Amino acid sequence: MKFWFSTKAALLGVALAFSPLAGLATAETLRVVQSGAISTLDVPMNRAVVVESDVPFSELSIANPGIADISSLSDRTIYVLGKSPGLTTLTLLDATGQLITNVNVRVAADISEFKERLRQILPGERIEVRTANDGIVLSGVVSSSSRLQRALELAERYAPERVSNLMAVGGEQQVMLKVRFAEMQRTVSKSLSSSLGLNGAIFGGDTGVNGGVNSLNNAPELANSLGGNIPNVNENTGALLFGFNAGSVQVGLLLEALEQKGAVRTLAEPNLTALSGQEAKFLAGGEYPVPVAQTDGAISVEFKPFGIELNFIPRVVDRDVINLELLAAVSAVDPTTGVEFNGFQIDAFQRREASTTVEMRDGESFAIAGLIQDDFLDNVSQLPWIGDVPILGTLFRSSAYQRQQTELVIIVTAHLVTPTRGEAFALPTDRVKPPSETDLFLSGKTAQPTRRNDAVGEVAKQDFSGSYGYVLD
């Protein structure tokens, strides 16, 4: 193998200037082949390589001109142009027709520019780029799925629909989602009603006059009030009855008052872990049977789930950035709003649901839903005209007031997690064990507390009351 660097540049420049292929492509490198040795020559597609033989040749041939084209620049120099992806053979013969050497010419897509753009757009990523026939093969480990997608999109620019992805995403790719449902319901109801009853004999007949809207409007209740008894239909927690005679007229007055207050607190905290890009489902509750009529008149049964539901798809898009597509719901059977269908009593459901897509970092929380509902209702019932009389009209009027307030908040927290050893977990059943017969029958104990002797048990024994940890000012 010989090199003459002093004259090679001048000869090559003159040769390319007069070559018929000079206007098609520019030679990138100079390769030297030895006689009697089989070598491989890599040529980028639509680019050229100059090959120099260590001995003069008199005849050239290429097996497949559709893959590569050749032109002799001198009796030692060959100009090889890559035309289409593939593998072919270049043969060199001397003046006597003897074989000098065979060169395997492999033409592949030019990926030098693609590699440079990949280093500029995704610096620091360990991505290896190779060619396969007329396509590009990407391998290595990237830091996130978003960077993997960017590398694939860039490769599609250079080899459309001919990109093979062998890359893997490194780092933590499992997400634990913690969802907190917090709901408060407050109800206040007040009512005040009065009834007045008169009964007497006028002009030889019995005449009764009733007032109010509740219990004294009917004859049985009027008789009870005039007889000194509180009516049976009274549902109020406070009732006051007055009855007296004014000559031949009996007067009965009933005052009823009601005040109700109530508060309901609902809290659920489901936790669920899933791999990035995979769907996870969680249900703590049950399924309610619902009859469904078919076209042929038959009745089938469908089951509707209820309880605490959590469905989500996490995607780790860039290191510690997590994209969450989730559905969170809390439902319960409500018999008070059911319907009757073909003789079947079907209960309704109370359901609080939120469906959204959010993006957050590891350990951050997001309030994805909030509801403040304030329902107000007041009702006044009275006898016409008489109920509008000041002071006296109170005896012929009933008033009711209701107010219901609901406040709901749904908060989600996402964490990137990794597996750990099973011994590091503590279960609720680890703290108790079945009692012995002596403890059960003599002491009346239904369970016997226990202590773990491992690291988890030691942590459970510690008292964390007061300040602890590190404080940085």
CA proximity to 252, closest of 206, 196, 194:
196
**Strand residue runs (E) in 56-132:** 59-62, 68-72, 77-82, 86-93, 99-108, 126-132
d(CA 236, CA 218): 18
pLDDT at site 379? 84
Tokens of 176: 């634990």
DSSP 455: H
d(CA 297, CA 342): 11
Kindly report the CA angle at 122 between 118 and 123, in degrees rounded to 5?
100
Tokens of 191: 């009512």
d(CA 198, CA 417): 79
d(CA 442, CA 436): 10
Tell me: the pLDDT tens digits for 107-145? 887 788 888 888 888 888 888 888 877 788 998 888 777
d(CA 451, CA 127): 51
CA proximity to 144, closest of 292, 25, 311, 277:
277
Q: Beta 397-417 vs 174-202: how paired, if at all? A: antiparallel
pLDDT at site 8? 41
d(CA 88, CA 67): 7
* Residue positions counted in the chain: 473
Q: Judge residue 153's burial from the number of C-beta atoms within 10 Å of its C-beta, 0-12 exposed, 13-18 middle, 19 or more buried.
A: exposed
pLDDT at site 357? 92
Tokens of 189: 């109801």
DSSP 434: P
The answer to whether 140 touches 131, Cβ cutoff 8 Å, is no
d(CA 379, CA 397): 11
The answer to whether 347 touches 386, Cβ cutoff 8 Å, is no
d(CA 434, CA 447): 5
- DSSP assignment of 252-289, as one string? EEEEEEEEEEEEEEEEE--EEEEETT--EEEEEEEEEE
- The residues of the chain scoring below 50 in pLDDT are 1-27, 202-219, 221-222, 224-234, 468-473
Tokens of 434: 């079945």
DSSP 96: T
- Record: fold of 112-169: Histidine-containing Protein; Chain: A; (3.30.1340)
Tell me: the pLDDT tens digits for 247-296? 666 666 677 777 778 887 777 888 889 988 889 998 888 888 888 878 87
Average pLDDT, the chain: 76
d(CA 324, CA 73): 63
The domains of the chain are located at 39-108, 112-169, 422-462
DSSP 388: G
- Record: fold of 39-108: Immunoglobulin-like (2.60.40)
- DSSP assignment of 184-248, as one string? EEEEEEEEEEEEEEEEEEETTEEEEEE-SSSGGGSHHHHHHHHTT---TT---SEEEEEEEEETT
The answer to whether 215 touches 223, Cβ cutoff 8 Å, is no
Q: Measured on CA atoms in the order 18, 21, 25, 30, is the torsion positive or negative?
A: negative
Tell me: the pLDDT tens digits for 42-60? 888 888 888 888 888 888 8
